[in-house]
Amino acid sequence: MFCFQCEQTVGGKGCTVSGACGKKEDTANLQDALTGKLIALARSALEKGASVVTDDLIVDALFMTITNVNFDNADISALGAKIADETAKLKASAENSREIDMNTIWNSKDEDARSLKSLLLFGMRGMAAYAHHAAALGKRDPGVYSFFYKGLSALASNFDVPTLLDLNMEFGQANLKCMEILDAANTGTYGVPVPTKVTTNVEPGPFIVVTGHDLHDLKQLLEQTDGTGINVYTHGEMLPCHSYPELKKHPQLKGNFGTAWQNQQKEFDGVPAAFLFTTNCLMPPKASYSDRIFTTSVVGYPGMVHIDEKNGKKDFSAVIAKAKALGGYREARKMTGINGGDVLTTGFGHGTVLSVADKVVDAVKTGAIKHFFLVGGCDGAKPGRNYYTDFVQQTPKDSVILTLACGKFRFNDLDLGEIGGLPRIMDMGQCNDSYSAIKVALALADAFKCGVNELPLTLVLSWYEQKAVCVLLTLLSLGIKNIYLGPTLPAFVSSNVLKVLVEKWNVTPISTPEADLKKILG
């Protein structure tokens, strides 16, 4: 096997024996084979014509190969067979129907082309997750799907480095559109998020913990648990669900259980509750709770009960029955974030922030707010991520911290006070909600009649998997500069590509909170 798509890849170079994520060699090789089949489908569809069937196969397969989504060889093989069958039905030319051996990319002697093709592939995997969630709510965009075919086909090309760099920037714009339609799907279905305080404590009685990113799955579970006496708690990236009016109206949506994904083996250990994984990030479960894990959608793990969709709906009765049988805690449990706080605030999407834009602008003009920091992205287990906690704690009191994705669990239980009636830490949502941060930045730039790079705004990002890659490419495609990135740089970025990122966009590896704050603030 060879895999270097996540931040925790072995030695900062690549996993070659087994994945740092827990994925075995045969599973990783099957996912490479799946990607090779997918390239053949994309090329064939470009020749003979795409369809909703090919669209969905491409999105599901790309999503399935994101880190920590699917560990089940049977699932991967079954989807690969469907893709091969659909490719055969298209009857395209032999060249376009040919499955690609991904080792021709991983072992390429052209390190820069390999780097840019990897960047493009991993970005498309991230965008596939967003497209999947939007499609579940009936939202699709032809331009987004069109790029999947173009981008996958490019992986089999001999394009030069400038062409591949341009393709990555074109992808960034496609992903911006994808995030926009997902935002419209979520807010159009569940309402505009509102600021909401969420407890980390757990009430007595049976409960279900929902993790992943899928609002549609959570809504169906809430409808099926209405009046049952079973409480529902979010986990990880599902925390922002508490701020959506159509979700929070269910009284059994009680709070948020635990912190970010990488702590699940410790936090789920022996817990008397059922766990529903709607998307990544799934870690190999421990024996103490493996009997209460349920997966759905493209998530899979050998031996876990999988909930399929039938006629547009999912039946979560098995999850509910398991929660009832386990019974939950007999007494209330006090639980906290990593810094000891037990109240988290979320719901500061672009709808909320822009509704008070006049107050924000006035606060900047009067000097009450001197700087904005967007500190967000993926969390992970690799040492060094305490940087983000320390960085936030050391930011000046006249600064505001915008945050999103699961990286916020490093500091979202801190109480840093308020500025002008607004909390200094504003949680804008999931990684899926990066569109909110972009929309707010563009609106502030418009209000101050300047470019985004001229705002008193600094992006300090953490990455782990491929959704962070697609967001980074979108930011670069918008010309946003001076991004601080960590905890380490991607292994798949070659020295020459890194040089371009530094020279053109001033992408900067994080160092220490003290040094970086001094550099940012002067």
> What is the structure's pLDDT at 424?
97
With tokens 């996958």, the residue in question is 152
Taking the C-alpha atoms of residue 469 and residue 462, their distance in angstroms, rounded to an integer, is 10
Taking the C-alpha atoms of residue 77 and residue 302, their distance in angstroms, rounded to an integer, is 13
pLDDT at 174 over 90: yes
pLDDT at 432 over 90: no
Class of the 196-326 domain? alpha beta
pLDDT at 346 over 90: yes
Query: Which segment of 185-199, 210-224, 357-371 scores lowest on mean pLDDT?
Result: 357-371
First to last CA, the chain: 46
Mean pLDDT of all residues in 129-136: 98
Interaxial angle between packed helices 434-447 and 357-366, expressed in degrees from 0 to 180 and rounded to the nearest 10 = 60
Q: What is the per-residue pLDDT across 56-106, written as a single tens digit (0 to 9) for each?
A: 999 999 999 999 999 999 999 999 999 999 999 999 999 999 999 999 999
Mean pLDDT of all residues in 22-41: 98
Burial of 324 (0-12, 13-18, 19+ CB in 10 A): middle
**CATH 3.40.50.2030, applies to 347-521:** yes
pLDDT at 383 over 90: no
Q: Say yes or no: do domains 10-189 and 196-326 share a fold.
A: no
Burial of 309 (0-12, 13-18, 19+ CB in 10 A): middle
Please, are residues 128 and 152 in contact by the beta-carbon 8 Å criterion? Answer: no
Taking the C-alpha atoms of residue 225 and residue 208, their distance in angstroms, rounded to an integer, is 10
Please, are residues 351 and 255 in contact by the beta-carbon 8 Å criterion? Answer: no
Percentage of residues of the chain with pLDDT beyond 90: 98
List Cα–Cα distances, 518 to 298, 342, 456, 513, 515, in angstroms: 44, 31, 14, 8, 5
Q: Where are the domains of the chain?
A: 10-189, 196-326, 347-521
pLDDT at 202 over 90: yes
> What is the structure's pLDDT at 421?
86
Taking the C-alpha atoms of residue 300 and residue 237, their distance in angstroms, rounded to an integer, is 18
CB atoms near residue 504 (< 10 Å)? 12
Taking the C-alpha atoms of residue 27 and residue 63, their distance in angstroms, rounded to an integer, is 15
Burial of 308 (0-12, 13-18, 19+ CB in 10 A): exposed
**DSSP annotation string for 27-87:** HHHHHHHHHHHHHHHHHHHHHH---HHHHHHHHHHHHHTSTTTB--HHHHHHHHHHHHHHH
Q: Which two tokens stand for residue 243?
A: 């701020």
Taking the C-alpha atoms of residue 417 and residue 8, their distance in angstroms, rounded to an integer, is 34
Please, are residues 377 and 468 in contact by the beta-carbon 8 Å criterion? Answer: yes
Q: What is the per-residue pLDDT across 141-173, written as a single tens digit (0 to 9) for each?
A: 999 999 999 999 999 999 999 999 999 999 999
Mean pLDDT of all residues in 24-43: 98
**CATH 1.20.1270.20, applies to 10-189:** yes
pLDDT at 310 over 90: yes
CB atoms near residue 373 (< 10 Å)? 24
**DSSP annotation string for 439-468:** HHHHHHHHHTTS-GGGSSEEEEEE--SHHH
Per-residue three-class SS string for 94-137:
HHHHCCCCCHHHHCCCCHHHHHHHHHHHHHHHHHHHHHHHHHHC
